[in-house]
A and B are shown apart, each in its own frame.
Chain A
């Protein structure tokens, strides 16, 4: 059967078996390719989907991209349970095993260096959202309810309306300021605990579907052994203040901490 090789990650040999039901992108199970004491986790993918032309077209297809990204992440997740994988970016594809081996040999030193640094560590994602009460939400507070009851009887004057709008705007700005200050403090605390951290661009609410304004989107590199403590720390630091939400995700493979791995210089064709 002809097919291309899709590479998920490079890691050191590991003892535990991967879950037997694990499938990769395009449905075939990932296998290990050993070269000079390093392992590339690869699976066979059909040329009809992963050759340059079809791949380019597929990547513009959100459903395909979603399924592929999830399958990719599923393999990385399974690896993270048993070892410390160096995750490759989505859609790293070679013609055959020997192409993968050539690449591993060429980048062997880089792989070893970064794997050494990440060994036994995982990434945790922390996001802080500001959720100012909406005009409807604000009316749940007692004062507002009372005002509302009064309003029901009396007609609202233009001045009242403007004053209410002003108060709402002020309350919203207040929440944003508090959330921003809180996010700063939280990042400081978590960075001090973690070995390393990265700040990512806040996610756009319209695109992520999350409610509220993303104020902090950070990744923290934490030894596995300290992970439980890190999770507890995040829990403790969570602010009960209304309008601030903290979201924790992980453990991830150390995606955000592979930047030491120099990108290959572009080869002019």
Chain B
């Protein structure tokens, strides 16, 4: 049996401002038990959900100019692709710079 002691009045509860706090806990913390309905919250791109916190949708977020995740390789496949492309271009450029130097060295 539990007899709770006196608790101070709640702080910061029930305000719309702390939806982020609530979602942080109910989605991220708490005991994970596989129910009969098997939904792994991580499967449904929890990150995408998190990104949508507060902002109404990804489209809305983009409208508002919130699109930093698109450039984050950890969050976006497009960013990963872009990064590879950039790296590739950089390597080609370096190669192009090195090639003439090498030809000069090789020249008698």
Contact = CB atoms under 8 A, between A and B. Distances in A.
Contacts of A255: 25-26, 29-30
A107 B39 CA distance: 19
Interface string A244-269: 00011111100110100101100100
A62 B26 contact: no
A155 B68 CA distance: 37
Interface in B23-72: 23-27, 29-39, 41, 44, 48-57, 66, 68
Which of B30, B50, B53 has the most A CB atoms < 10 Å from its CB?
A: B30
Interface of A: 4, 7, 10-15, 50-52, 55-56, 59-60, 62, 65-66, 69-70, 72-73, 76-77, 81-84, 86-95, 99, 103, 107, 114, 119-120, 122, 125, 200, 203, 206-210, 223-225, 227-228, 231, 247-252, 255-256, 258, 261, 263-264, 267
A203 B35 contact: no
Contacts of A70: 19, 22
A28 B63 CA distance: 37
8 A-B pairs with least C-beta separation: A208-B20, A249-B12, A255-B29, A224-B5, A93-B37, A255-B25, A83-B2, A90-B26
Nearest to A251: B7
Given A12-B1, A13-B1, A69-B23, A227 B30 contact: no
A62 B52 contact: yes
A88 B31 contact: yes
Interface string B87-103: 00000000000000000
A14 B3 CA distance: 8
Nearest to A206: B66
**Interface residues of A, dominant DSSP:** mixed
Contacts of A51: 37
Contact of A82 (B2, B11, B20, B55): B2
Contacts of B108: none
B39 A56 contact: yes
Given A223-B5, A256-B25, 16 more contacts: A4-B36, A7-B35, A14-B2, A66-B19, A66-B23, A69-B27, A90-B26, A94-B35, A99-B36, A103-B35, A114-B31, A231-B8, A249-B12, A250-B10, A258-B30, A264-B33
Given A95-B36, A203-B20, A248-B12, A90 B5 contact: no
